Amino acid sequence: MRQAALLAPLLLLSACASVQNQGPPLPTVKYATAGSYMDARTAFTAPPSPEIFDLAVRNWTEAIADSAGCRLPRSEVTSASLVAALELAAMAGFAKQEGANISEMGRYAADMALAAGAENRRPSRARCDRLYRWLPEVNRQGGDAVRRATINSLRRGLFGSPQRP
């Protein structure tokens, strides 16, 4: 029992050291997912603060740029840039930020693309391994959110009344 108590702090320290080598946290599709349900999950989603929004922009930009630096498939990196724009637009919508519009989301996507094009990015092997697993998952989450929002919008008639022959 005593040996386990001595070993626990060492394990915690080694976990902290390995997380530092893996770079910034990888973003998720939280707000776009919540918004896509158009139910209580949407209603109870707290708006992000400006600091959380800025952190999300940095994390998405770093993840996209590092994915390109790891030489992951360009089509997946491009898709993740679009998912990032979707997530940031959803965050802006929840925050009801003035001026956060589609053209601004396009600017974020363009900034991510420029960061992804940087030739000198060389993420660590551990970061590349994490991004290799993250990229298809975040693209799936983004696609799921878009499909769900489209279906729920059609069900609610948000795209207008269905045309009858």
Extended beta strands in the chain, E state: none
Q: Which residue has the tokens 């590349």?
A: 128
User: What is the maximum alpha-carbon separation in the chain?
Assistant: 78
What is the average pLDDT score of the chain? 79
Which pLDDT does position 97 carry in this prediction?
A: 58
What distance in Å separates the CA atoms of residue 42 and residue 40, rounded to the nearest whole number?
5
Q: Could you tell me the pTM of the whole model?
A: 0.74
Which of 81, 104, 80, 83 is CA-nearest to residue 92? Answer: 104
pLDDT digits (tens, 9 = 90+) for 66-102: 999 999 999 999 899 889 988 998 898 888 755 455 5
14-28, 113-127, 140-154: lowest mean pLDDT where? 14-28
Which pLDDT does position 106 carry in this prediction?
A: 66
Q: How would residue 104 be classed by pLDDT, with cut points 50, 70 and 90?
A: low
